[in-house]
Structure 1
Amino acid sequence: MDGHAEDRGRVYQASGDQHISEHHHYGDEASTPGGPDSVRRPAVGRPPVVLRDRVEVLDRLKAGVRAGRGGEAFVLYGMGGCGKTAVAYTFFQAAINECGRVGLWVSASDRASLRAGMLAVAADRGARDGELLAARNGLRAASDLVWHYLDRSAQPWLLVLDNADQPEILRDGSWLRTSPGGTVVVTTRRSAARWWPGAELQHIGVLPSEDAARVLRDLAPHSGTQEEAERIAERLGRLPLALTLAGGFLSQQVLDPWTLEAYGRRLDEDERERVGLIDQGADALSPQDPRHMVGLTWQLTLDAFEARGLPEATALLRLLARFAPEPLPLVLLNRPEIDAALPRARCEAALRALLDQSLTELVDVGARCAQSHGVLLDSVAAATPAASVPVLDTTAVRLLDVGFPALPDAGPHDPLLRLLVPHALALLRRVDDPPTSADTLAVATRLAVALHRTGDYVSAWETARAAADIGERKLGAEHRSVLAAHSRAGRALFRLGRYAEAEALLERVRAAQNRLFGADDSDTLDSAHGLQLVLGNLGRQDDALALLRSVVVGRGRTLGPTHPLTLRSRSSLLVLLSASEVVAEEDGALLDLPSECDRLLGPDHTVTLGAHHNRAWALYLSGRFDEADQEIRQVTEAYRRRLGPDYPTALSAQQLLSRTRAALGHVKAGAELMTDVVARREHSLGPDHPFTVAGRELLSAFTSGRWRPPGAEG
């Protein structure tokens, strides 16, 4: 007899009566589902060498198991890469070795792993084969079986449910319970308390600076100093996963070992390659687990958003990734301009989803803000599809653009402005498209103007300087927006009392603007107006006056005689001209300029107040002390009411008021006013600022009897 069989077929030959019973299974044996190899050992990719920080959390966890208590459930939550599993692993080892607990470890990352792992737990605690088979075949409630044997365990236990980022899996199967026989610990990215009724939530965040540096040195002890390690740790946002990967990379280099300093330079060279550099520390011999690489770990959550029908959450996270890892005012996310990236009506749900997944958090820094981790944002930005980037960039620019006034005016300190600075600079670094880069730079420069006009000259200078430097690399040194940013930096340097630096910068910028755009260009005239202020304070009155006259003419010709900038430059003539020149200027009409400003701009306009301030100075110089005193008293009160007593212009007006008081014979009152001015300037500008020094000299003249009013010095 001939027989033939293929693949897994069989041929039987028999004589006599035979009974053959055979079970056939078709498919790949390797794909047959099975349980975990062990529930007694944690399934972690890379156990921590030493767990840094986390002392309070571990003490709280250990307190329960040491006392022999049961019935507790702890949820360790936080963003991906913060070391939740590392904390659970360390606690797991302590519970076994120090407290005599039976340790049980189950992956809860998906339904199949959770079910298989929990049934393996039941088997470990004494469940019989028939019971397990019935549970696997759906003939018996699987979770009831597991918890039946956990409740009746003769030994106290610790059960860890790791990576439970889909808590609905636990809820739907009723897998998460408590038992007097042991303690449950869950690690998850999901922070909403509604998922964890009855459990104690413990947030796992980034590490303190010193401990973060020690993680690097634990892994690569010879790569650099503690101080260098702290700098790299800050650059990595003190995220445990990033620190572990960086330390692993440094420890793996054999032929050409890297130092921490070299690693830091590479991190700063190209933000697009930053995430790839960090992920080089992953163990090349182990399977690629997304949770063990910063470039992939958050993709799990983004995939979950898509599966749950929440693409807006992904879009919002990609939009946030255009900004900085600093508090971002929520008001920016509630504007119509966001519609280009995601529907405004869906922004609330998208933000809640990010909060629930620990991808961002709410912080209150005087304004309600959202804040995300820097490595997360870098990772998301690097993985954002190229086709989505232009819309995201233009949306981010528009959101910043409407976040503060289009025409910044003098005013008191506004905390919102400082919050926007890192986001404007981060966006400027991310954007590649030249027109969008120019738009972003213009917004950043206007933000510097707004800071300047609140009297925050340090922030104004830092913002303008940083924006100009970034813009120059992207757009070239002679781009209009780059020159405008440099000009604004020069204006801030002047207000900081750094006259020589301000003069050099404004001279260079004005020369370039004059060559490229012409003498009557608005940007050229703006730089010239700022430069004349510097020259006047350097004692070069003639040069300042000649330049100011050219600005008055140029602005009158291009903007018109009634434009606020033209009126402002004309009012500056009242400061630079002598008493006799003021009377002769414009056929005697210059002293009437404040009234003209009242009529054209209104009495409370900043330019109007400035014109009254300057006329009070001109009246004082001409010996008309009563008129000057009345005018500057009103200006001082208006400034203090509108801008606050510490505002630089308010202090300048108060200084002039002290002069008019003294000129009218009230020297003691003048000294009291100047004492207040000097104290406030020392606090806000510093003791060595030229304005502070000049104020101290005037106060000394008052108190020593050396002071004389104008016209009486001889």
Structure 2
Amino acid sequence: MTTDDTAAGPRIKAAGKRTIGAQRIRDAYTGDLHVLPAEALHAPDKVTAAPGTSNLPPATLCLGRDEELSQLRRILTGGGEGAITQSGAVHGLGGIGKSTLAQRYAHRHRSYYTLIWWINAASPDEIETSLTELTTALVPDWATSAERGAQVSWARQWLAWHQGWLLIYDNVEDPADLAPYTGALHQGHHLATSRRTTGWPDSAATLCLGNLSTDDATTLLCQLVFKDTRPTPQQKVNARALVAELGCLPLAVKQASAYLAQNQGVSLDAYRRRLGTKLDRTAHGIDAERTIARVWNVTLQTLEAEHPLAVEVLHTAAWLAPDDIPHTLFTPADADPDDIAEAIGTLAAYSMVTDTGTTVTVHRLVQTVLRTPKPADHPQPPRHLQGRDRAEQAVLHHLTPLPGQDIPDRQWDTLTPHLVTLAATTPPGHHNPRLTAAYATAANRLHYQGHTARTIPLLQATLAQCEQILGDTHPKTLRSRNNLAYAYESAGDLERAIPLYEATLAQYEQVLGDTHPDTLTSRNNLAGAYESAGDLERAIPLYEATLAQREQVLGDTHPDTLTSRNNLAGAYESAGDLERAIPLYEATLAQYEQIQGDTHPDTLTSRNNLAYAYQSAGDLERAIPLYEAALAQREQVLGDTHPDTLSSRNNLAAAYQSAGDLERAIPLYEATLAQYEQIQGDTHPDTLTSRNNLAYAYQSAGDLERAIPLYEATLAQREQVLGDTHPDTLSSRNNLAAAYYTVGDLGRAIPLLQATLAQREQIQGDTHPDTLTSRNNLTLARRAAAAVQQPDTATPATAPDHPPSDTPEQPV
């Protein structure tokens, strides 16, 4: 990725099918991830946590949840106190008390766990931030000088080494974000809270949390409002009427109680009447949101008169990430920190925020309501937009370097979740050039850290700003559109990537001309997306045209020309045309070595690609040494967990397998899959390919008990992520059918092989190598079935040298 200084953002020259994976270079590659220093690699197994180590929030009152707490205990222990590897999730509406239940569970069973760690889990970045805090708690001296990636790796290793911990993932937005942890860390308990009711893996038991009963809600209100005094019978009646008005929603009950505790002159009945007057002026939304809006409107009206600065702080917090908002973001240069601290204290007293003394957490429903314009909001600009402006200025202030200094990486890491939230909640027509530039920088940093898919909200906001200010066909707008298409492709979302690439190319051709370098890059990117989708009939001619134009415009040895040459060789290889692929790969590698140097990342990718072509041709004597050399160089140059390094490791494992050396192949596959799950996530296309390859290795070793469940899981995930007819999905379907065939389950194998063949004929064509493989596999299976049905007359089918299966794919 290269950058420019414009608001259009990072100039991503997107890479093709094998940039990350089996590695087809296009016009970009991701940069270095942080590598754990050697001196820290062995520390996690030696560091022990002090008894009671925890970052749990203080215990809060939790009434009426005894059955839920017992059920949660059964979920996490499997019904027995000896179980140490269980995952569970509590889901329900916002404000229902999910976090409170998780806190109560953790405090009640604190003595059972060696360590309890509360993780803000709204995004992968926030999960990583919580893990860096765990590292800081356990090895503070080392953590202060370590980079973020190293701290995350250390925490994961510590959890892998030690038993009996509890991780609580609070406010999970996407269950898939937890897969790198729940799938790899098996020495303790994982507990999630979320508003999501679906998307949880089968291995995670779920508990749906409902509202409190009327009796429990009444008791909770009375305990919070009257504390040590006993309510009168009439007060109990009024309390019961009030909680009924609030729908027995725990958050609403606590918010109302906090208001009444702070305003003791207001009776329960008077407060209920005030709520009634607010009913018609609340924001539209689900019932819970409307209920909470009514409660907050009463509270905000009081705060507006008594502490207007607290209202300003709250409206500012509404636009930031809900967790871990530093106090400093609420303190402009001209503000008195003591005044801000007092305002935050007032909000905490009213239960509008949770304050740790240095950071603030705001309930997501509070933010939803406060970001919604209100008809009676007369100030210009409206109050909610004033809060937006303060939030933007606060983040930008902390991203403005002092003269001669750079913004520290840790500061970017801290503020990136807030930038993502601002980007995702941009009001229509809103424009802030400095903020758009910050979005671009944050996207650029995430891209080079290997997290391109996470840049989507930032790039969507950047593109919207470019379209609004510069117009639909400005070169910076086109570049921004290309960047977003690449992010979609990196996330495996080809349904959004390809149309965006096509539209961008048409506009480049119209605005810049047919042979402008940016047009050629756009054409190359579209060809790569077609190839990723398995559409070689459109990919190869586009690659050929792009290469010819780059040779003419840029010259024979320009890096972009070399990229096109490599990409075209890869497309020939994908089509099974090794006679054209191998010489083109060899020529390209020689030019890379001459122009870029022996250890340049592009040279290493070219070396890997040539090795794969040799392997495809059956020439393992040349393939394996080339793979080993490429892997060693990538580990040295890019680091141990860079996506390209993982790809080399996977490819070498495949070569060992092809050579029949399963003793080296399987452990390498297993280690690579664990790293893919950690770095790329559980459902990233590269992870799915790695999982498929490991299943194939198990199958080759005759271990069908492990192979078949892995194939089944991979197929289900590919159908969900890539679609039903993506070439990788078809490979998974074929591989699973082959595994069924191997164990003699022809009743499941044959229908699956028939479906796969029909889809391959339709998608890849009648003579594609994959189609021919499917046809052969189906023929073998039918012969085997005929032999079973007519054993006295049919000639038994000769078993193939290998089970009917595709060669394991390299990462896409």
- Give TM-score, length-normalised by structure 2: 0.39
- Give TM-score, length-normalised by structure 1: 0.44
Larger radius of gyration: 1
Specify which structure has the bigger relative contact order, considering alpha-carbon pairs within 8 angstroms and separated by 6 or more residues. 2
